[in-house]
Structure 1
């Protein structure tokens, strides 16, 4: 059974590589390395050989009608049908058993320090495969609806960027600005990958700007790993970099103390899902609850405060109170026009 499980996982990895628009026409060696890195965290060839990948692609063609072809010109494999994916094929009994096996194994480790931050994700997987004996059952959606996430662009860059971080190598990529819509080539030393609200970001030392910059992976294109050794700031500490942050914004500014009041209904939500780890209740009144926290004031935090509208009143600092008042006034003017 373990052999079957690994084969099914390899099919999914091969499928993902063949659909990767940023690295088209993967060679047999590329596919082997991708499978070996995903399954064993290594790509030396000690665990998977090229013949295994050949057998996998043959099985994908025979069992799943995968339209895999080899391009002599590009010296790599591809799908002849652009929209084909093995993920659209209903799960077989072996697929279901493989997923259940993996889920039951992982969920046993959800309280281990290494996996604590993924506890809720592991629980979701465990619930999904155990809530019904047949995860393919379409009628299940009539009784249970799980939260869905829009597919994230740029996730294919996670593995090569992690490799660059570990090896401290320089990477190049084109980056599109939200403001101007223009693309510009970047040269950076990757420092840290961070997920925020189902999006991935790269914190990197920009070798042109000579500063630490945050880049969204969904706006990256044409990623290129080089053999150049990168330059890293001496004072960068991955564990402390986001200590005072809400969201993805971090800088050299000092955190500020924020005091705010919330009506008691909103206060229950805010207490159960704090804005920041430093948040604490300082006073509970009949109608409102007072909070304090010490954070870097960022656009992400301001947007979260704004989302509560009239249910929250920021008391301190005054400039943040004025900023919120201005935004609310602009909203009033917008709706009055």
Structure 2
């Protein structure tokens, strides 16, 4: 059974709605959501009929597309999934979906040679590999880095839409340091990925209206709010992270030159995969090479440098050298006070 693009958009929209268990969804709510999605993605402004959405729900409940979605009606009014963990995105890819994916892959491949679409290369490779493994029932031939247990990924699309539409979000968030979660209004500006974790940069309402960087895996709930969106007038989003490793940065923070020596055995790793785009080779020195990068000093930079262990020595600036020496001293102190395993203690007794 052929499924057109508009129907796929409606199925995905209904699925996103029913997965959001913080709201009770009536049929009218689902109709509105589908109408908004078709207008956003296809520019269709005539809306969606009641009969179409009812037919979509029945199609999702059936096995014609392989979904067999457990859609139920609560209190004879509200639609939801009987299984809170269900999503059509967890279902096997149907032949119709495969056809759509193949068409998308063919279209994207036409742009792979253009410099301004260089970021598409990895995405196209991922898509082609997924299509290959599904069609041939063979293991993937490309193993991309991923974290299947990462929380918060389901918020990405909603946040992206809020940024585009300039909508305020109501966020319930608990950082690793906080004893309990807090809820506040937030104007989102930019989604940022770093080492398979996702972050959102934006302005927190109240408390002076300062920039805030939130980790998506620490968000407990998020939804649109009617409070007025606060435009970004503080930073250039296109270049904000150019002088930083990671995501930790405050407006007005200034970068500095970080100089480091690394032994000859590990220097090739630094040459082929620079720590930062500002990296420069400075000199050959004492069985190693000296490089520099120009970045803001932050936690992620320290962790990156410490990861090389004894293979690296930071030469400047002094404040960074001092901080790294303190961290290394603490590490040595921990090793000096390692408790013996329980089995060794028993043997001594």
TM-score (norm 2): 0.82
SS of the aligned residue for 1:230 comes to: coil
Q: CA deviation at 1:197?
A: 2.1
SS of the aligned residue for 1:242 comes to: coil
Q: CA deviation at 1:239?
A: 1.4
Q: CA deviation at 1:307?
A: 0.9
**Residues 187 and 207 of structure 1 are in contact (CA less than 8 Å); yes or no, is this contact kept in structure 2?**
yes
Q: CA deviation at 1:306?
A: 1.0
SS of the aligned residue for 1:192 comes to: strand
Question: Any gaps of 5 or more consecutive residues in structure 1?
Answer: none
CA distance, structure 2, for counterparts of residue 238 and residue 97 of structure 1: 37
**Residues 257 and 292 of structure 1 are in contact (CA less than 8 Å); yes or no, is this contact kept in structure 2?**
yes
**Residues 9 and 38 of structure 2 are in contact (CA less than 8 Å); yes or no, is this contact kept in structure 1?**
no
Task: Evaluate the alpha carbon distance shift between residue 34 and residue 331 of structure 1 in structure 2; reply closer, same or farther with a 3 A threshold.
Answer: farther
- Corresponding residue of 1:105: 107
**Residues 107 and 123 of structure 1 are in contact (CA less than 8 Å); yes or no, is this contact kept in structure 2?**
no
- Corresponding residue of 1:134: 135
TM-score (norm 1): 0.84
**Residues 14 and 30 of structure 2 are in contact (CA less than 8 Å); yes or no, is this contact kept in structure 1?**
no
SS of the aligned residue for 1:189 comes to: strand
**Residues 258 and 317 of structure 2 are in contact (CA less than 8 Å); yes or no, is this contact kept in structure 1?**
yes
Which shifted more, 212-221 or 80-89?
Answer: 80-89
Q: CA deviation at 1:163?
A: 4.0
After superposition, what is the alpha-carbon deviation per residue over 1:210-259, rounded to whole angstroms, capped at 9, x for unaligned? Answer: 22111122222342423332334533211122121111112222101001
SS of the aligned residue for 1:234 comes to: coil
After superposition, what is the alpha-carbon deviation per residue over 1:162-212, rounded to whole angstroms, capped at 9, x for unaligned? Answer: 344344443322211211231112233222222222222221222323221
Task: Evaluate the alpha carbon distance shift between residue 35 and residue 293 of structure 1 in structure 2; reply closer, same or farther with a 3 A threshold.
Answer: same
Q: CA deviation at 1:317?
A: 0.7
**Residues 10 and 56 of structure 1 are in contact (CA less than 8 Å); yes or no, is this contact kept in structure 2?**
yes
**Residues 30 and 53 of structure 2 are in contact (CA less than 8 Å); yes or no, is this contact kept in structure 1?**
yes
**Residues 185 and 225 of structure 2 are in contact (CA less than 8 Å); yes or no, is this contact kept in structure 1?**
no
Task: Evaluate the alpha carbon distance shift between residue 47 and residue 273 of structure 1 in structure 2; reply closer, same or farther with a 3 A threshold.
Answer: farther
Task: Evaluate the alpha carbon distance shift between residue 95 and residue 57 of structure 1 in structure 2; reply closer, same or farther with a 3 A threshold.
Answer: same
**Residues 249 and 298 of structure 1 are in contact (CA less than 8 Å); yes or no, is this contact kept in structure 2?**
yes
Alignment of 1:235-314 (within 5 A): 235-251=234-250, 252-284=252-284, 287-314=287-314
Task: Evaluate the alpha carbon distance shift between residue 168 and residue 20 of structure 1 in structure 2; reply closer, same or farther with a 3 A threshold.
Answer: closer
**Residues 129 and 142 of structure 2 are in contact (CA less than 8 Å); yes or no, is this contact kept in structure 1?**
no
- Corresponding residue of 1:171: 169
CA distance, structure 2, for counterparts of residue 272 and residue 23 of structure 1: 49
SS of the aligned residue for 2:258 comes to: strand
After superposition, what is the alpha-carbon deviation per residue over 1:247-273, rounded to whole angstroms, capped at 9, x for unaligned? Answer: 111222210100111123322222222
- What CA RMSD, in Å, does the superposition of the two structures yield over aligned residues? 3.0
CA distance, structure 2, for counterparts of residue 262 and residue 169 of structure 1: 47
Task: Evaluate the alpha carbon distance shift between residue 165 and residue 13 of structure 1 in structure 2; reply closer, same or farther with a 3 A threshold.
Answer: closer
SS of the aligned residue for 2:125 comes to: helix
**Residues 263 and 311 of structure 1 are in contact (CA less than 8 Å); yes or no, is this contact kept in structure 2?**
yes
Which shifted more, 146-155 or 290-299?
Answer: 146-155
